[in-house]
């Protein structure tokens, strides 16, 4: 993969953690479903902006990875947003195939944690 450089003005807006990473949430641009969370470093964010393909940093492999490069389940990035603190990236994507490595549409499928008193309709 070519080396991508994040423009300095944008790099100053992103609050990378002590490891040089920022969480990135991928959301389906049409349905609004939250698909997955992954990490980005400055190069992954720069590559995503340049290629419009979801590109992330693998903490276990210590390398960039492009969503769908091996599975074929690609993400075409339609917009990129920073939250108000600059410490989370939101990618709105067109997902082709499942987003989760388990084969589910979303990494947040079938793992709901029940709230205490949820039967009584209490909300947080």
Give the three-class secondary structure for 49: helix
Whole-number Å distance between alpha carbons of 51 and 123 = 41
Measured distance CA(17)–CA(15) in Å, rounded: 6
**110 marked as binding residue:** no
Q: Is 9 annotated as a binding residue?
A: no
Q: Which two tokens stand for residue 78?
A: 């339609």
Among residues 73, 82, 72, 109, which one has the least CA distance to residue 24?
A: 82
- 85 marked as binding residue: yes
Q: Report CA-CA distances (Å) from 93 to 67, 79, 86, 88, 101.
A: 11, 7, 19, 16, 17
Sequence ranges of the binding site: 83-85, 87, 100, 107
Sequence ranges of the binding site for Mg(2+): 83, 85, 87
Sequence ranges of the binding site for Zn(2+): 84, 100, 107
């Amino acid at each position: 993969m070519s080396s991508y450089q994040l423009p300095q003005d944008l790099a100053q807006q992103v609050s990378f953690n002590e490891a040089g990473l920022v969480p990135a949430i991928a959301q389906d641009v049409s349905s609004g479903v939250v698909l997955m969370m992954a990490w980005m470093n400055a190069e992954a964010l720069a590559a995503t902006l340049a290629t419009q393909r979801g590109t992330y940093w693998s903490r276990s492999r210590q390398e960039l990875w492009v969503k769908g490069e091996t599975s074929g389940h690609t993400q075409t990035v339609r917009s990129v947003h920073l939250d108000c603190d600059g410490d989370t990236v939101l990618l709105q994507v067109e997902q082709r195939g499942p987003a989760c490595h388990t084969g589910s549409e979303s990494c947040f499928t079938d793992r709901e944690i029940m709230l205490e008193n949820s039967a009584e309709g209490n909300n947080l």
